[in-house]
Amino acid sequence: MTTPDAAPPLPGFSLGAQGAEGRIWYGEYLGRPAVAKERFSKAYRHRKLDEMLTKQRTVAEARAFHRMGDIGVRAPKVYLTDVASGLVVMERLPGVTARQAIIEAHAAGDATRVEAVARAIGDMVARVHAAGFVHGDLTTSNMIVLAPEGGGEAAGGGSGAAAAAAGEAAAAAEAPPGGSASGAPRLALIDFGLSQRAKASQLLEERGVDLYVMERAFTSTHATCPEAFDATMEAYAGSGAWSAAKGPASAQSRDGTLSHLQRVRARGRKRMAFG
Amino acid sequence: MGIEGSANKVGVGLVRYTPPSESSSSSDGDGGSGESRGRGTYETLSNPRKTYISPAGQGFLPRETAWHHQKHVPALAKLALEEAGLSLGDLDAVCFTQGPGMGAPLQSCAIAARTIAQLAGVPMVAVNHCVGHIEMGRAVTGWGDPVVLYVSGGNTQVICYMAGRYRIFGETIDIAVGNCLDRFARAVGLPNDPAPGYNIEVAARKYAAECAAAGTEPELFPLPYSVKGMDMSLGGILSQLTRDGVKAMKDPDSPVTVEQLCYALQETVFAMLIEVTERAMAHSGAKDILIVGGVGCNKHLQHMMGVMCSERGGRVFGMDSRFAIDNGAMIAQAGILAFQHGTTTPMEATTVTQRFRTDTVDAIWRQ
Ligand SMILES: Nc1ncnc2c1ncn2[C@@H]1O[C@H](COP(=O)(O)OP(=O)(O)OP(=O)(O)O)[C@@H](O)[C@H]1O
Ligand SMILES: [Mg+2]
């Protein structure tokens, strides 16, 4: 799997990154910039478990585009799915990861931009949650800050560090001076392998855990700018997504979720860590 | 000197630092922690310990465990010095586990540490138990910056060093893996001796071997696989096992055996641990993995991790029991690093704390 000569899943695709779950390939599909995500089998785990997980995650990934489309959250359009081989070919979204955007804005001392990106994250996550879904892996690497309309490199790009650097350069060039001149950043969500429609009885708990995972991702990846997560949560709570009178999209449901987040946090703190 | 007693083991270890000029041939014999990084050598001189084994069907309770530690710690300290051929006057500092752990046992060992420090007239150094595991692992392997999978009775964490601290990238959101194994073992009546997790490992291996001999694929009793980002949940697995698993095992019409349940438990839980570790590797770019904590002794976990690691071109070190299992030398190892960077703990601050997160410690020796 680390072999550089691993065969591309489609002709003309080149290896972008070796993620935890699989390989990310970049190329073109029917003339459009595309990403091929390949979840290969893991030799360390039992065959049946491996097949089940690969299938589950590939299906979840492929479904996300329509699910998200229905609720107005941008996600990559799916071009091709092959469940048996764990392959999903999708639209390559132009932009940089939210992780990169926050780190760069923070490094440049652009607090306004950090806050704008963070707020956009909070609002997007609220919309996903209000619709009864949980993402399952809410890290800032799984969110793309879309390049402004009419240009911009696709996130990732050719291969490895060079591509990342090119992406950064493109982002830097595109970023409006002061960071917020062209209005709120537009975000997209990716990496839906662990996403699911939460069971009604588990909704608050699942959302609480989803937020907890996000909080921990922020505190480990963006340890030096804690204000980012605060802004995210403020926007989450204040999102227009919570406008229904009752049900999962209500303010009441949001409040229940936030108190579940407290509970999940408390579980973490209470856990006695010995042995 | 390091004194550990945060759970059911009590140990006293001695670690010596030898500056570069004097460090001749490395003494890699029995204690085996020759770390040489061009900046001298750390060497474990002695490391005796005792384990409190609770009665069958029971976990260890704070009070009995504290009594056990109180009874053994003076003799262990003496033995540690004797084995090393040293006396109290040779000590430079006494390190002790401040937490996390069980209050009463921690307290007993802290009192012992204060007494010894005062007798020897040397300063004390408070140590975080988890950091002790990590630093001992780094000392043994000589690996600079590994991803650490910390799996024990009370802990399930994936840790990476970042910006001055050991950061917890992933962890269990409910129960710890060792706790899950122990409670399952108790529910199905596997003995606590030598350790419940060990008996699960043996039973699972037996089932896998039987299947291999028969040329069949082992059955995988269905358990909820639950990974959330880099965190995981184990509570569902335990309740499924103690409810449906035990029922199936007792049902004469069902082929499910205790060995099969042990097998499924290990396959499922370990796959989750490895998945989150692999995510942390992908995130941090680190190539090497250190498994620490009591569950790290599990050979099957080490094997599975090895398979994942070799696919990524990395290395894995499942520590042997001398270091994976709680002991005094690991506390001395973390303590000596802090001590060499000017840290001592004034007597009035040598209190203990049951909750003490790894990521609250300033790892000044790494900065
Ligand atoms: N549709 C897409 N458009 C643009 N960039 C993408 C797209 N899909 C993936 N990427 C890039 O590839 C990276 C990895 O993708 P993704 O998160 O889906 O894979 P992964 O293997 O699940 O990664 P991990 O397990 O590390 O989260 C993303 O962080 C992003 O930079
Ligand atoms: Mg991802």
B280 CA from centroid of ligand 2 (Å): 11
Q: Are B167 and A223 in contact (CB under 8 A)?
A: yes
Check the CA dihedral A124-A130-A132-A137 and report its sign. positive
Which of B168, B311, B325, B361 should we substitute to test contact with A (largest number of A Cβ atoms within 10 Å)?
B311
Two tokens, residue A163 = 């591509």
On the CB side of A255, how many CA atoms lie within 13 Å of its CA?
5
Average pLDDT of the residues in B28-51: 69
Average pLDDT of the residues in A231-242: 97
B232 exposed, middle or buried (CB, 10 Å; 0-12, 13-18, 19+)? buried
Distance CA B256, CA B60 (A): 30
Residue B10 DSSP SS3: strand
- Give the pLDDT band (50/70/90) at residue A171: very low
Does the pLDDT of residue B130 top 80, yes or no? yes
Does the pLDDT of residue A181 top 70, yes or no? no
Q: Given this model, what pLDDT does residue A2 score?
A: 47
Omega into B194 within 30° of 0, i.e. cis? Answer: yes
- Give the pLDDT band (50/70/90) at residue A5: low
Give the rounded percent of residues in chain B with a pLDDT score beyond 90.
74
- Residues B246-271: pLDDT tens digits? 999 999 999 999 999 999 999 999 99
Residue B1 DSSP SS3: coil
Q: Which residue of B has its CA nearest to A207?
A: B228
Hey, is the C-beta of B61 within 8 angstroms of any chain A C-beta?
Answer: no
Q: Are A65 and A54 in contact (CB under 8 A)?
A: no
Q: What are phi and psi of B168, to 5 degrees?
A: -90, 105
pTM of structure: 0.86
One of 3.30.200.20, 2.60.40.10, 3.40.50.1950, 3.30.1540.20 is the CATH number of A14-91, namely 3.30.200.20
User: Does the beta-carbon distance from B100 to A274 stay under 8 Å?
Assistant: yes
Count of beta carbons in the 10 Å neighbourhood of residue B98 = 26
User: Does the beta-carbon distance from A18 to B282 stay under 8 Å?
Assistant: yes
Q: Given this model, what pLDDT does residue A182 score?
A: 53
B235 CA from centroid of ligand 1 (Å): 29
B145 CA from centroid of ligand 1 (Å): 25
Residue with tokens 């800032």: A140
**Closest by Cβ to A269, choosing from B155, B218, B355:** B355
- Give the pLDDT band (50/70/90) at residue B195: confident
Q: Are A28 and A44 in contact (CB under 8 A)?
A: no
Catalytic residue list of A: 137
CA distance A274 to chain B (A): 4
User: Does the beta-carbon distance from B218 to A46 stay under 8 Å?
Assistant: yes
**Closest by Cβ to B173, choosing from A43, A221, A268:** A268
Average pLDDT of the residues in B269-296: 91
Two tokens, residue B203 = 């039973």
**Closest by Cβ to B155, choosing from A47, A53, A275:** A275
Partner A, chain B 282-301, Cβ-Cβ below 8 Å: 282-283, 293-294
Does the pLDDT of residue A37 top 90, yes or no? yes
Complex ipTM value: 0.84
- Give the pLDDT band (50/70/90) at residue B219: very high
Distance CA B277, CA B273 (A): 6
Question: What does CATH list as the number for A95-274?
Answer: 1.10.510.10
Per residue, the 3-state secondary structure of B112-153, as one string, reads HHHHHHHHHCCCEEEEEHHHHHHHHHHHHHCCCCCEEEEECC
Q: What is the mean pLDDT of chain B?
A: 91
CA distance A23 to chain B (A): 11
Count of beta carbons in the 10 Å neighbourhood of residue B283 = 22
Question: Is-same-fold flag (A14-91; A95-274)?
Answer: no
DSSP B149-170: EEESSS-EEEEEEETTEEEEEE
- Residue A257 CA to its chain's centroid (Å): 20
Two tokens, residue B256 = 């499910």
Q: Which of A18, A24, A73 to mutate to test the pocket of ligand 1 (most atoms within 8 A of CB)?
A: A24
User: Does the beta-carbon distance from A274 to B305 stay under 8 Å?
Assistant: no
Hey, is the C-beta of A164 within 8 angstroms of any chain B C-beta?
Answer: no
Residue spans per domain, chain A: 14-91, 95-274
Residues flanking ligand 1, CB < 6 Å: A 17, 19-22, 24, 35, 37, 76, 90-93, 97, 141-142, 144, 154-156, 190-191; B 279, 282
Two tokens, residue B251 = 């049902």
Averaging pLDDT over each range in A3-7, A198-202, B23-27, B86-90, which range is the top one? B86-90
A217 CA from centroid of ligand 1 (Å): 16
Distance CA B235, CA B224 (A): 9
Q: Given this model, what pLDDT does residue B28 score?
A: 39
Full set of structural domains in chain B with CATH: 2-143+323-366 (3.30.420.40), 147-285 (3.30.420.40)
User: Does the beta-carbon distance from B162 to A47 stay under 8 Å?
Assistant: no
Hey, is the C-beta of A136 within 8 angstroms of any chain B C-beta?
Answer: yes
Q: Which residue of A has its CA nearest to B282?
A: A20
- Residue B159 CA to its chain's centroid (Å): 13
User: Does the beta-carbon distance from B229 to A136 stay under 8 Å?
Assistant: yes
Hey, is the C-beta of B366 within 8 angstroms of any chain A C-beta?
Answer: no
Q: Given this model, what pLDDT does residue A164 score?
A: 41
Identify how many contiguous H helices and E strands chain B contains and give both numbers.
11, 14
Two tokens, residue B25 = 């041939």
Average pLDDT of the residues in A230-241: 97
Which of B69, B151, B228 should we substitute to test contact with A (largest number of A Cβ atoms within 10 Å)?
B228
Does the pLDDT of residue B147 top 60, yes or no? yes
Q: Given this model, what pLDDT does residue A113 score?
A: 96
Hey, is the C-beta of B326 within 8 angstroms of any chain A C-beta?
Answer: yes
Does the pLDDT of residue A30 top 60, yes or no? yes
On the CB side of B280, how many CA atoms lie within 13 Å of its CA?
33
Chain B residues in contact with A44 by the CB 8 A cut-off are 271, 274, 304-305, 307-308
Q: Given this model, what pLDDT does residue B2 score?
A: 98
Distance CA A112, CA A101 (A): 12
Distance CA B151, CA B174 (A): 14
Region label for A151, one of left (φ > 0), alpha (ψ between -120 and 50) or beta (otherwise): left
Closest CA to B98 of B342, B336, B335: B335
Q: Are B219 and B227 in contact (CB under 8 A)?
A: no
A140 CA from centroid of ligand 2 (Å): 9
- Give the pLDDT band (50/70/90) at residue A15: very high
Q: Given this model, what pLDDT does residue B240 score?
A: 97
Q: Are A220 and A103 in contact (CB under 8 A)?
A: no
β-pair type (B315-318, B288-292): parallel
Give the residues across from B289 on adjacent strands: B147, B316
β-pair type (B2-4, B9-18): antiparallel
Q: Which residue of B has its CA nearest to A265?
A: B173
- Residue B153 CA to its chain's centroid (Å): 8
Does the pLDDT of residue A190 top 70, yes or no? yes
User: Does the beta-carbon distance from B356 to A273 stay under 8 Å?
Assistant: yes
Average pLDDT of the residues in B136-159: 90
Average pLDDT of the residues in A40-68: 94
Stretch (H or E) spanning A141: none
State how far the alpha carbon of A199 is from the alpha carbons of A133, B190, B220, in Å: 9, 35, 25
